[in-house]
Every structure is written in C-alpha cells, then in structure tokens.
C-alpha cells in the first residue's frame, strides 16, 4: 500500500545545506543514476537492488548512512542542523528504508520525515512512497506492522540484494548474519506480517560498498562546490600553518628540525584519520 500523508502545518520545509546547486534536481537524479549503474553492469552476480536502512533498524550502519547522505546531500550528517530544529526524536527522523532498483526506487518513511525527504527525492524517476497518513501513524502497533509489510513488499521481486555495509575508510568484513540481526531484517521472519522465513535464507546478500565508493569518488557540481568552499579552505589554512614555521629568523630556522617543521601537517593528518575512523600506523 502506498499512501501519501496529509500536510502538517507549521513544519518547515526541508532544505539543502550549501549553495544554489546543492540539491538541484539534475545533480540528484545524476547521483541516483550513478548508483543504479551498479545494477546494470554486465555481471552474473550483480544485485537486483541496493538496500539502504537508516537508524536503529540497521543498528546505525555507517555504510547505509553514507549512501543516504550521498543521495540526500548530507541530510543525515551528524553536524547538520536541519533535523535538530524539528524537535522530533532521532528514531522518528531516521525511520527510513530505501530500496534502489535499476529502473525504480522504493522509499519507506513516516509522515513526519516525509516532509523533509520530499524536496530531495520528488524528482526521482519511478519513485514509490510507502508512507502512512498522520492519523494512521498515531497507532504505534499499526505503524510498526505497516513498516514491516512495506519492507517485505519492497524486496519481493528481488533475489539478490546489495548492502552498503561499510563506509569509506572503515572497511569491514561482510557478515550476512550481522545483517540478519538488524531489527527490521529480524522482523522479516515474523509470522503473519513477515516474509515467511529468514531474510538471509530467502535472499542472497552481497556487499556493494566498494562499488559505491567508486561512485562517491566521481566529481559533480555539488562535490566540486564542497571541494572549493570547504576542503580547499581547510587545506589553505593548514598550508599557511606549515609555512609559518619557516617565518622566523635565520638562527632559529637552523635549529628547526625536520620533525618540528612538519608537525602541523602530521597533526592535521592524524586528526583527519581519526575523523575518518582510520588509525594511523606509526
């Protein structure tokens, strides 16, 4: 069942953070097509769909959140302020499941986060919403059953499903039994409203993290804007700090060791590795 929720007055419209090109329909559709290209590769093992589950339902999987941020222009970044101003809980805002197929997209959400997601996805081709109305959503048990039924319906026509298991710089060994323990995947096995069996027994799962990283590395207007307005500014600051060590009198400059001269770059590099979940090997 696909239901479009009623508009709730007083809720701000979702907006993209950044310049005028950030979140533009053309770039958004281009990014979606780049992800869908993984599903059209000439390979016998290519998946039928890529499953992205956010929040507690995937135990806050970083690979899924990274894919969502790529498609939704950083909407689910930790430092975003768009959601913080809503007053809604994280569990409600993260209540999202996306199944990307080669020619369509299925998106489960709730009537709260629907308002914030819509401007980012409304122009996607063959988009199917799975969403309750506000009145229906007030019944917690019915809302949970609807989410499970939507999940079952979304993956029904698939036999092989790709999982964005790992985020960039934090590669993990793919374990389908870890995926089986994700709450929404566990619920798939419930009698009556589930999919009649364990998810990992009914579908072949494969990690598509590396394929997605190749997609993320491709330059587009939004990533170029981010490179120029954020990364380049940070690099210029770090480069200035590095050369500031040489802006001294000759006697003191001669006493400056190679280690002392390069200390700013090492500090910035180590900090960058920490923020990327990578431990520097010394």
| pLDDT score of 2 more than 80 | no
| Percent of the chain clearing pLDDT 70 (strictly above) | 77
| pLDDT score of 206 more than 70 | yes
- In this prediction, residue 253 has a pLDDT band, given cuts at 50, 70 and 90, of low
DSSP per-residue string spanning the chain? ---PPPPPTTPPPP--SSSTTTT-HHHHHHHHHHHHGGGGSS-TT--SEEEEE-GGGGTS-HHHHHHHHHHTTTTT-TT--TTTTT---HHHHT--EEEEESS-EEEE--TTTHHHHHHHHTTSTTEEEE---HHHHTSHHHHHHHHHHHHHHHTTT-SEEEE---BTTB-----HHHHHTSHHHHHTT-TTTS-SS-HHHHSEEEE-HHHHHHHHTS--HHHHHHIIIIIHHHHHHHHHHHHHTTSS-HHHHHT--HHHHTHHHHHHHHHHHHHTT-PPP-
Tens-place pLDDT, residues 65-86: 999 999 999 888 865 556 666 7
């Amino acid at each position: 069942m696909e239901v479009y929720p009623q508009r709730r007055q007083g809720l701000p419209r979702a907006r993209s953070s950044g310049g005028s090109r950030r979140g533009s329909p053309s770039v958004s559709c281009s990014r979606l097509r780049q992800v869908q290209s993984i599903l059209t590769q000439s390979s016998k093992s290519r998946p039928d769909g890529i499953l992205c589950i956010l929040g507690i339902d995937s135990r806050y999987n970083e690979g899924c959140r990274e894919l969502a941020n790529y498609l939704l222009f950083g909407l689910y970044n930790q430092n975003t302020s768009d959601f913080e101003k809503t007053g809604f809980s994280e569990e409600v805002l993260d209540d999202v499941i996306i199944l990307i197929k080669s020619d369509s997209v299925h998106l489960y959400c709730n009537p709260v986060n629907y308002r914030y997601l819509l401007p980012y996805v409304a122009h996607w081709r063959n988009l199917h919403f799975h969403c309750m109305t506000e009145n229906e959503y007030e019944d917690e048990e019915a809302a949970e059953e609807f989410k499970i039924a939507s999940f079952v319906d979304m993956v029904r026509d698939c036999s092989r499903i790709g999982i964005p298991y790992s985020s960039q710089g934090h590669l993990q060994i793919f374990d389908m039994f870890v995926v089986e323990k994700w709450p929404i995947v566990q619920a798939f096995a419930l009698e009556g409203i589930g999919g009649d069996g364990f998810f990992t027994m009914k579908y072949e799962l494969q990690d598509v993290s590396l394929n997605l990283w190749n997609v993320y590395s491709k330059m587009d207007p939004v990533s170029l804007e981010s490179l120029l307005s954020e990364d380049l500014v940070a690099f210029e600051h770090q480069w200035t700090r590095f050369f500031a060590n040489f802006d001294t009198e000759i006697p003191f400059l001669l006493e400056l060791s190679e280690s002392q001269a390069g200390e700013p770059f090492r500090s910035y590099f180590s900090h960058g590795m920490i923020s990327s979940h990578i431990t520097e090997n010394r």
